[in-house]
Structure 1
């Protein structure tokens, strides 16, 4: 039986890949984004694969919404639900402007938190209300980031927002668990996406992309993890967790050289100290 999967930030990148994989599996998909033309183009690519994995389902709908509007997250969930009850909510929309710390102001800070934290929270609240009233048990998957664990220059709002979203994930799972609603998160490492909303420089990509597995991530890597977490047959006893899909980049400082050498202690090639 097909599910109804609602994906925010679905016009490009990870959100689009999630929508494509869900549609290919035969799910009905509603794509949400604030860019009408990009959203329509994305919907066409999703329709091209829709229903290939099942005999029924594969219907594709779009909703244009600016998630900075505090009314928008609940509205898109309610509107999608009126079409068919939402079985999976994927909060993939996110922004990550690079702003030096001393140039931060309230508007910049709030703009990131509104999209990256408040929107998924309010969307989950609305889905929780509708689902509990209807006696249904949907699943929610939030997209966080390795930045939730590690600050970096220019990313104070973004890193803070993703750390907050991981706590939102746990808090939501705690409070909705009694109703059978599962809430989890996927934290991607560096993923190569074609995005005009959140472009990154080649220098930045080169600095953050190394990981033990030796390749950057692809949106499909994240989409598959999202849909595994969303599937009650595969992960029915998993809630409140953050699945790090990052090629191992969160394992530690894997690019550092060995902290010791084979030189004789006391020579110029050694230093006294405790490895960090």
Structure 2
């Protein structure tokens, strides 16, 4: 991929939630494009599996423990992973879901979802951009939102609220950080078989959902490869504050 506008050779990329699912896929795709990848999560054992897969394919990767909801943990993870240097590209992928209806959701569950899905991306991006600004280097932030950030589905209130807020936070970040040469964009995936969505997709409701997708299929991880490479690379140098939806058309119909 060298000499391509999507080439990431020489770049350091951090992927939160990089041990499983979409996060692992993003890490593998960007490592294949030449990046040195730092995969972060609280479950370090899963991260080592991602690192091993990347190294087996000839890429560069390291695992770094991080709790995205903790300011101290985020700061310490950056220091351990890059010292006084910078992370060129941040992919804020870590997130959690909550199943109860809004009436049945307790305060602790609500707070946990907002902390992981909204506060976490802010803390990680803030640390990255502070370092980039001090070093006078450009960078990229990619926030992984969801089609539920702009659509409504029963039983996903806390999650949907956090993803909607993340989309607006993306726009705020884009406006404030453009002066530092940092672009901030988002990806809104539809339904993919991941650790978070797998159980739902196997349920009767999940199978009924499949019939509502215009392309009549669930997403596969490779459907997101182009979007992540676009937003992480120089190919998106004049894009900021936008969201790329990758959902097979699910969010298009209004009835």
The structure number with the bigger radius of gyration is 1
1:84 CA displacement:
4.6
Q: What is the total number of aligned residue pairs between the two structures?
A: 244
1:214 CA displacement:
2.1
Residue in structure 1 matching 2:21, options 13, 19, 25: 13
Q: Which consecutive residues of structure 2, in runs of 5 or more, have no partner in the other structure?
A: 1-8
2:253, 2:124 → 1: CA distance?
34
Aligned to 1:177: 178
Using a 3 Å threshold, how does the CA distance of structure 1 residues 198 and 32 change in structure 2: closer, same or farther? farther
Cα deviation, 1:45-66, whole Å, max 9, x if unaligned, reads 122223xxxxxxx321111122
Aligned pairs for 1:52-91 within 5 A: 58-82=59-83, 84-91=85-92
Cα deviation, 1:136-164, whole Å, max 9, x if unaligned, reads 01100000001011222221100000000
Using a 3 Å threshold, how does the CA distance of structure 1 residues 251 and 131 change in structure 2: closer, same or farther? same
Q: Which consecutive residues of structure 1, in runs of 5 or more, have no partner in the other structure?
A: 51-57, 257-276
- In the alignment, is the contact (CA less than 8 A) between 1:89 and 1:141 conserved in 2? yes
1:208, 1:168 → 2: CA distance?
29
Which of the two has greater helix per residue? Answer: 2
- In the alignment, is the contact (CA less than 8 A) between 1:169 and 1:240 conserved in 2? yes
- 2:219 is equivalent to residue 211 of structure 1: no
SS of residue matched to 2:193: coil
Aligned to 2:240: 239
Which 4+ stretches in 1 moved above 2 angstroms? 66-81, 197-201, 207-210
Aligned to 2:10: 2
Using a 3 Å threshold, how does the CA distance of structure 1 residues 77 and 183 change in structure 2: closer, same or farther? farther
1:198 CA displacement:
5.7
| TM-score (normalised: structure 2) | 0.90
1:184, 1:150 → 2: CA distance?
19
